[in-house]
Amino acid sequence: APDATSAGDHYNPQEHSHALPPGEPRHAGDFGNIKANAQGRADFDIQVENITLNRRLNPILGRAVIVHARPDDGGQPTGNAGARLGCGVIGVENPNSATRPTPSQQGQQ
């Protein structure tokens, strides 16, 4: 759906309450807040133990990741983060695909 509602609710296979990392327990899909720079670029690095890419514990491969309009405040049930602004799918890059741009090329895009 254009508003990303087709992605469904927060990923919560263990039926925990919503929380911000590093809070435990929390939804498997609770990654916390990411801040973009003035150009709209954001880098995100997190290590968690409540998900796996494609193994038994809460696999996320093929699931959606949502960008919301406001910061997640940790409130129930989903953090009061507002409208969904963007949606993507968690995947694995095909090693046979085109090469990634270099950092200097990325700044030009």
Give the pLDDT of residue 95: 58
The reply to whether the predicted model has a pTM over 0.75 is: no
Q: What is the pLDDT of residue 97?
A: 56
Mean predicted lDDT score pLDDT of the chain: 85
3-state secondary structure of 7: helix
Mean per-residue pLDDT for 86-96? Answer: 81
Contact 67, 85 (CB under 8 A): yes
Portion of the chain with pLDDT greater than 90, in percent = 53
**pLDDT surpasses 50 at 8:** yes
Mean pLDDT value across residues 77-96: 86
The answer for 36, left when phi > 0, alpha when psi is -120 to 50, beta otherwise, is beta
